[in-house]
């Protein structure tokens, strides 16, 4: 993959772009969203560039998807009261802007008026 094609998440994983990292394991990284849509808004990202969206991840590595969801649950318990919304945008028409699979963990006051485009 050429340098210009690498996603911002790949560059964060490589340490080229700073992020407020809240979790880091061998296969997953999580950090605070720079434009939060809720009091707690974390991005949970597999470290592999192989999957563009959650459907590709589910088909290609269901174990990694399960690990991502378990990480989201752990982070919601650690950073909030354990209740959370888990959002995967799949495709540009659904609001996906970074084509490196990732989940949004949202917690806190999630009234409809506070959530913009994720």
Distance from C-alpha of 25 to C-alpha of 115, rounded to nearest angstrom: 29
Out of 41, 79, 100, 102, the active site residue is 102
User: Residue 22 in contact with residue 83, Cβ under 8 Å?
Assistant: no
CA distances (Å), 59 to each of 22, 50, 66, in order? Answer: 27, 12, 12
| Active-site residue, 100 included | no
Active site residues: 102
């Amino acid at each position: 993959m050429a340098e210009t094609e690498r996603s911002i998440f790949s560059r964060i994983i490589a340490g080229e772009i700073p992020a407020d990292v809240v979790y880091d394991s061998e296969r997953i990284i999580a950090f605070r969203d720079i434009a939060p849509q809720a009091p707690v808004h974390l991005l949970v990202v597999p470290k592999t560039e192989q999957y563009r969206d959650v459907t590709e991840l589910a088909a290609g590595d269901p174990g990694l998807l399960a690990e991502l969801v378990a990480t989201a649950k752990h982070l919601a318990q650690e950073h909030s009261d354990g209740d959370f919304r888990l959002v995967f945008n799949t495709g540009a028409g659904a609001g996906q802007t970074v084509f490196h699979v990732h989940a949004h963990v949202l917690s806190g006051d999630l009234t409809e008026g506070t959530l913009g485009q994720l």
